Chains A and B, each alone.
Chain A
């Protein structure tokens, strides 16, 4: 028998702490407090805000009134979850011996580890988008719920569109952004996270923009929206330049209906700001949207979207009926019937998650597409689209993410 070394002693102590039930109880209690706070905070911050603050963070921060520095005052859900997983795993290794009597305990605790780990993955990797289709329309892109982007389209060629997109999050950082493969760059003069536009009155200051509609519009910056069902209405003042040549200072905003354009060396560039899009290698055509109610009431009985799924690369061309509790799963994405607008517009929630992607035979979608700087794509003008859809063209601006009846998260009480 030899004396355990110092390191062994410390190791044993750490191991004892890591496997202790005290740690379990502490974690569970902290988690309860976090869940409680997160629930209460949802009234003010909306679900997403509260979840990001309390559950998907390493620490819950607090900044004293009137100051900018932040103090970590409470462990966040991510930290507690991680410690809990470590604790559970270690305790299982140390304590559990397998016997049929204990099989139930094993299953429950293993299940717990999976669930907590699953939430980490979901928090980090799940991407929610949506697809809005009008009856008869063909759509081959997803729209973000709240992110926007600047889009510049070279529409000179009748068969092709050269489309450049810059996420608003990149615009917010300012600077000059060269458009890849073109002589142009976009200088960001100013970015508004949330802005109200109104007609310019004589007593107002001269606007920053000197070209297009922006020259006669007053921009008032608003505080960012936090409520779940409201979205920011961002805008920016930009200056397209080619070398030393400026094409004027323009206002772009999701609130401006008509796209604005300038001509550089005979090529016409159309600028607009829109909900961020992600293009798919396939398209859905809405053939029929149904919205049934119980007779004599407004209580929804069923919603369904009959769509034609077309994927020329894979040779897929088939009809799919998407309805409540019956989503379409295709190439790692799941399309849920999530809402509607009027009688003819369907809103599908589109979820990409690691799980569904793994279960599909196809590789990862280009997730990197969602970060970063200007992005360039070539879009063939879609033969089925009536000019307004399918390609990078701007669809009618009538729909904002907050509109449309939502069918999500309904409960019995």
Chain B
């Protein structure tokens, strides 16, 4: 962009959120938090996150005019004195005159416990925290009103300068200066800390380079900027080869966007499969499976990359659980397809994979998806056993539900219902439910053992545990109801769809307990999404349950 090598700039490692990551990832996550998007259009072109960050740190006056704050709440818009129009994005400059009001209102909101805040209080507290993030980023390398790091180094030793260094050390959001050889590997410094050290006689070589980088950017001098960025990279390669390698790998991963690619491929597989039902089945059905497998391969590659990057088992937070649940469902679907060869496995696998990756995509807007593990949860053994087993249980239950929905649609909308296929489908659902019951049960027991080891009780009846128990109970009920003959093919299908509701409730629903209809934060958006999902499943259950006279074609 404008001749600046922002790729190299974005590849520089920084320490933020307790881990080393490329500047690019931090910029993306920050913009995602502030604007809910990783890039935006401004003056006729697309601004990527790292360019926005460079502007924010080195060309503050430009960045402050860019509309990066998304504001939806009518009352917050009222504070800004702007009418409710289609424009929901505002620049820092627009917000600045009202900052005192916002701060006062946010402080009032903070005095109230988060779950008890109303819509406005949530929105204002949220805006304030985004403004704070913006402010901290803006002053991270150099204070926004500073002529630059070269100037700061020049005035080293003056009392006023010392105060400025302190302010910078306090406010900086991230630490761009890696520890020098022989120093504690955690001792990354922000520029304020490095300036302080410099005034005491230890000059970090990166400080001067960062100064040149910033000055070159501000003066629109791409050549100097690119040289400084390249030198910083070279320096890291010598001093912190591991950190630079880690940052490069993560940058590559973020650029590759494997889960986004997977999502697109799954849709493609689904479309090809739909086409196969009306045209050239022999050719298109295997093609759809091949496309699905390609998607699964990319999905797997993405998962494996995350495992390697993080050095953790695949599921470490809600986001990664969504990615993993989808993956599990896709793999199970492929296995079913290999067994039954009806195209049905492909359809539900592609749909489940696509759906869960969409969910993951929305969950990513919280910021860093590879955040550090809190102390209690910091156990790779239990993450690899309990968490993975439980999520595979989720995958299975969802897959069974998806097959049941497919069965319903096929029978009631498309109108195809030969007995053989129906038998095959109910066989699939039965098998998948057995599978997920086993995994949910084992996973729940493992969770109990973990809880016993770290909290002193096997079972505490807390919402999370109850959610897992509900899945186990429901799957057990389905199996026993079939055993005793209460339900046959169609009944099992209805129950399997209800399994979707139970699983979604225990996966997401329990997090929303106590979240009333008043709050409009992220969880609230999720609340409506979840309600919509549950409603749709109820509709499917009704459809499936509907007596024969409502079917498109009667079973013969």
Task: Using CB atoms and an 8 Å cutoff, list the residues of chain A in contact with chain B.
Answer: 20-22, 24-25, 28-29, 31-32, 35-36, 38-40, 42-43, 47, 50-51, 55, 108, 111, 115, 118-119, 122, 126, 128, 293-297, 299-303, 324-325, 327, 334, 336, 338, 349, 351, 407-413
Contact = CB atoms under 8 A, between A and B. Distances in A.
B117 to A, nearest CB: 16
B371 interface: yes
A28 B480 contact: yes
B457 interface: yes
Contacts of A299: 17-18, 371-372, 374
Contacts of B458: 118-119, 122
Nearest to A77: B461
A51 B476 CA distance: 23
Nearest to B20: A295
Nearest to B514: A43
Contacts of A47: 460-462
B212 interface: no
B317 A412 contact: yes
Interface in B465-480: 466-467, 469-470, 473-474, 476-477, 480
Interface in B363-379: 371-372, 374-379
A29 B448 CA distance: 22
A325 B379 CA distance: 8
24 contacts: A21-B484, A25-B480, A25-B481, A35-B461, A35-B473, A36-B466, A39-B510, A43-B514, A50-B461, A108-B441, A111-B445, A115-B448, A294-B19, A295-B175, A295-B187, A296-B15, A296-B175, A297-B18, A299-B374, A302-B378, A336-B455, A407-B376, A412-B315, A412-B318
Contacts of A294: 17-19, 372
B390 to A, nearest CB: 10
B300 interface: no
Q: Which 5 A-B pairs have the closest CB atoms?
A: A294-B18, A413-B318, A351-B456, A21-B484, A297-B18
Nearest to A351: B456
A407 B462 CA distance: 15
Contacts of B19: 294
B377 A410 contact: yes
Contact of A324 (B375, B387, B460, B477): B375
Given A296-B18, A299-B371, A29 B455 contact: no
Given A47-B461, A409-B460, A115 B445 contact: yes
B166 interface: no
B16 interface: yes
A325 B377 CA distance: 9
B378 to A, nearest CB: 7
A326 to B, nearest CB: 9
Contacts of A38: 461, 466
A29 B372 contact: no
Given A301-B375, A409-B455, A25 B484 contact: yes
A275 B189 CA distance: 46
B107 interface: no
Interface in B496-552: 510-511, 513-514
Give the residue among B186, B460, B511 with the most A Cβ atoms within 10 A: B460
B454 A325 contact: yes
Contacts of A410: 374, 376-377
Interface residues of B, number: 57
Contacts of A351: 456-457
Nearest to A56: B461
Contacts of B459: 118-119, 122
Nearest to A22: B484
Given A119-B458, A407-B376, 9 more contacts: A25-B481, A40-B513, A295-B18, A296-B174, A301-B18, A324-B378, A327-B453, A349-B455, A412-B377
Give the residue among B316, B321, B480 with the most A Cβ atoms within 10 A: B480
Contact of A32 (B321, B374, B464, B474): B474
Contacts of A122: 457-459
Contacts of B318: 412-413
Nearest to A301: B375
B483 interface: yes
A225 to B, nearest CB: 15
Contacts of A297: 17-18, 372
Contact of A338 (B16, B453, B455, B460): B455
B430 interface: no
B510 to A, nearest CB: 7
A101 to B, nearest CB: 14
Contacts of A36: 466, 470
A336 B454 contact: yes
Nearest to A48: B461
B17 A349 contact: no
B196 to A, nearest CB: 16
B188 interface: yes
A295 B188 contact: yes
A409 B47 CA distance: 42
B463 interface: yes
A21 B480 contact: yes
Nearest to A413: B318
Contact of A29 (B376, B438, B477): B477
B461 A32 contact: no
A325 B324 CA distance: 26
Contacts of A128: 456-457
Nearest to A300: B375
Contacts of A42: 462-463, 513
A31 B453 CA distance: 26
Contact of A413 (B376, B445, B481, B511): B511
